[in-house]
Amino acid sequence: MAAYRLDDLAQYLDATLLGDGDYPIAGLATLQSAQSRQLSFLANPVYRKYLSQSRAGAVILRADVADEFPGNRLLLDNPYLGYARVSALFDCAPAVATGIHPSAQVAAGASVDASACIGAQAVVEDNVEIGANVQIGAGCYIGEDSVIGAGTRLYAGVSIYHGVSLGNGCIIHSGAVIGSDGFGIVPAGPEMPGWVKIHQLGGVEVGADVEIGANTTIDRGALDNTVISRGVKLDNQVHIAHNVRIGENTAVAGCVGIAGSTTIGANCTIAGAAGIIGHLYIADNVHITAMTLVTKSIREPGSYSSGTPLAATREWRRNAVRFGQLEKIATRLKRLEQQ
């Protein structure tokens, strides 16, 4: 891997360098594990205790703690952002695909940019459009009439149904499924058992710079499209039902489920394993804490929660029994007050 001079890194980060501008940096590491040719950073104060003893060749940190590290320092107001930006320089992951593999099955009617790469065993159906510098991983499937924007990368084993549009610069991880049928069923009738399927005639629109985690699923719309706006970040095993609309730059952590026709604003952060029921409206700048169930629309920015605190099971069980008596407890309290 190529090394970078500290002067060049300081310029790239717009950071103030204290130390040797010629010093070569060949990688990134935590304060605890960094070696002499590695750059580290201090962002979370929990790790400040490791700073003075770190063997890192240089550290990105804030000016107010700069005295605690004796070696080369890159001063930034936001070291965590600096670390993120430098991480791109040191990413040596192999390309998702290179060239068009002879085992890939690309329909004659697909339009594939000359710069795009398609991995082994991948399947691209008719009338698909694949943009410049796209990388389609091994074993991916791209259904008819779908569009993959320039620079987008699909890791191995992604399934894209027909009529799905992905913007430019997206990253889609393995096992993600985009465009599967929404869960649309209607009882067959009062005198007939079972369900009648609502055929899902809409598609999915994914904006630019969206990242979609491993084994996340996004259903196609019933009539209109399901919409994931520019800059949205979805972690692993997220479930997005039909006709959900997610606003720009909203981030959704792992195992979240969002039910049908709910609209979520921009710049929201949904923590892991939260659930949002269908047909709701969530405003911009809303934060939902982990494993919260959202059962009503949220019209004001802020943080929202549900659930109960962690406890030893024996203690929890006693309190949980009392939860089932709360209505009676409130009634008894009122009676006492009235006396």
Backbone torsion region of residue 266, taken as left when φ is above 0, otherwise alpha when ψ lies between -120 and 50, otherwise beta? beta
DSSP-derived pairing of the beta strands 171-172 and 153-154: parallel
Q: Which residue in 67, 108, 191, 308 binds its own copies (CB under 8 A)?
A: 308
Q: Is 205 in the site for its own copies (CB under 8 A)?
A: no
The least CB distance from residue 321 to its own copies, in Å, is 7
Q: Which residue in 75, 149, 155, 204 binds its own copies (CB under 8 A)?
A: 155
Q: Is 111 in the site for its own copies (CB under 8 A)?
A: no
Q: Is 129 in the site for its own copies (CB under 8 A)?
A: no
Distances 269 to 116, 251, 254, 287 between C-alpha atoms, Å: 33, 5, 12, 5
Cβ(182)–Cβ(242) below 8 Å: yes
Each residue 6-25 as x (binds its own copies by CB under 8 A) or -, in order, gives: --------------------
Candidates 8-16, 67-75, 109-117, 120-128: pick the segment binding its own copies (CB under 8 A): 120-128
Each residue 39-68 as x (binds its own copies by CB under 8 A) or -, in order, gives: -------x----------------------
Q: Which two tokens stand for residue 178?
A: 């985009």
Distances 278 to 68, 179, 191, 234 between C-alpha atoms, Å: 51, 18, 28, 18
Q: Which residue in 101, 113, 150, 263 binds its own copies (CB under 8 A)?
A: 101
Q: Which residue in 24, 120, 133, 285 binds its own copies (CB under 8 A)?
A: 120
Question: In sequence order, which residues have a C-beta less than 8 Å from that of residue 221 and are 6 or more positions away?
Answer: 182, 200, 201, 202, 203, 204, 242, 243
Q: Is 338 in the site for its own copies (CB under 8 A)?
A: no
Cα-to-chain-centroid distance, residue 328: 44
Cβ(200)–Cβ(220) below 8 Å: yes
Cβ(157)–Cβ(141) below 8 Å: no
**Closer CB to its own copies, 20 or 301, in the complex:** 301
Q: Which residue in 123, 133, 150, 284 binds its own copies (CB under 8 A)?
A: 123
**Closer CB to its own copies, 21 or 187, in the complex:** 187
The least CB distance from residue 18 to its own copies, in Å, is 23
Alpha-carbon dihedral of residues 154, 158, 159, 165, nearest 10 degrees?
Answer: -20
Each residue 159-198 as x (binds its own copies by CB under 8 A) or -, in order, gives: x-xxx-------x-xxx-x--xx-xxxxxxx---xxxxxx
Mapped to the 3 state alphabet, what secondary structure does 108-141 carry? CCCEECCCCEECCCCEECCCCEECCCCEECCCCE
Active-site residue flag, 242: yes
**Closer CB to its own copies, 20 or 89, in the complex:** 89
Q: Which residue in 45, 67, 93, 191 binds its own copies (CB under 8 A)?
A: 93
For the chain, the straight-line distance linking the first and the last C-alpha, in angstroms and rounded, comes to 80
The least CB distance from residue 260 to its own copies, in Å, is 9
Candidates 9-17, 49-57, 62-70, 249-257: pick the segment binding its own copies (CB under 8 A): 249-257
Question: In sequence order, which residues have a C-beta less than 8 Å from that of residue 227 and are 6 or more positions away?
Answer: 204, 205, 244, 245, 246
| Residues 252-291 interacting with its own copies (rule: CB under 8 A) | 253-255, 257, 259, 267, 271-273, 275, 277, 279, 287, 289-291
The one-letter amino acid code at 251 reads A
**Closer CB to its own copies, 150 or 291, in the complex:** 291
Q: Is 35 in the site for its own copies (CB under 8 A)?
A: no
Residue 150 CA to residue 46 CA, distance in Å, equals: 40
Q: Which two tokens stand for residue 52?
A: 């003075």
Q: Is 80 in the site for its own copies (CB under 8 A)?
A: yes
Catalytic site residues?
Answer: 242
